[in-house]
Amino acid sequence: MFKSEHDGLFKIIGMFLYNQASSWAGNVMNFVISFFMMVIVIFFLLIDHEKFITYVLELSPLPDSQERQLINRFQDIAKAVLVKDRQGFAMVVIPGSNWVKLQALQEEADRDFELADESDVDELFSDCQPGAIPPLGPAYGMETFLDEQLTSLANVYFEAGDHIHLVQVNGKAFHDLLKGARHGHYSHND
């Protein structure tokens, strides 16, 4: 009698452990497959972003002129990218949809710049949320490089230190805010 009671208990515990292990293994497999799918999607979005934008625009119910207007608005957004070398930190102000051309910046400035670490950014811009630095290097006493693509805009938009507020200034006011910044071609969008 004692043995049959334990057999039933062991069977229940065994089934419980088996179900838990199965569930855990299934969740791990689901995560691994989802993760690799995400990596593949991100890879192709980065490689073929123009084709992706074209595809999304084809799906959009907006007229073509409004779609392009919406896409072009991203070119009017200025973002700050922090770089550093042995001499210290500098800010590169580029269009929001572009990437920094580090080599062009290094050649122009004759310095050995690299992208600053997030910890550096957090320390220097403690008054801002991570990733929301206003592109106003002179206000922070920082050497600033301004991409030429932003110099001919009628209006420029940029984050105000958080991810909620967006500042709009006219092109002349933006240039006044960045007085003393070096101008050049410091970004690309491919």
Query: 31 by DSSP, 3-state: which?
Result: helix
Domain extents in the chain: 2-70, 76-188
Please write the tens of the pLDDT for every residue from 54-94. 777 777 787 877 777 766 676 788 999 999 999 999 999 99
Amino acid (one-letter) located at 148: E
CATH number belonging to the domain at 76-188, selected among 3.30.360.10, 3.30.70.120, 3.90.960.10, 3.40.50.9100: 3.90.960.10
Paired tokens of 106: 């290094």
User: Are the C-beta atoms of 95 and 78 separated by less than 8 Å?
Assistant: yes
- Residue with the bigger pLDDT between 18 and 85: it is 85
Distance of CA 113 to the CA centre of its chain: 20
CA dist 129 → 23, 125, 165, 181 (Å) = 39, 8, 11, 24
**pLDDT (0 to 100) of residue 5:** 65
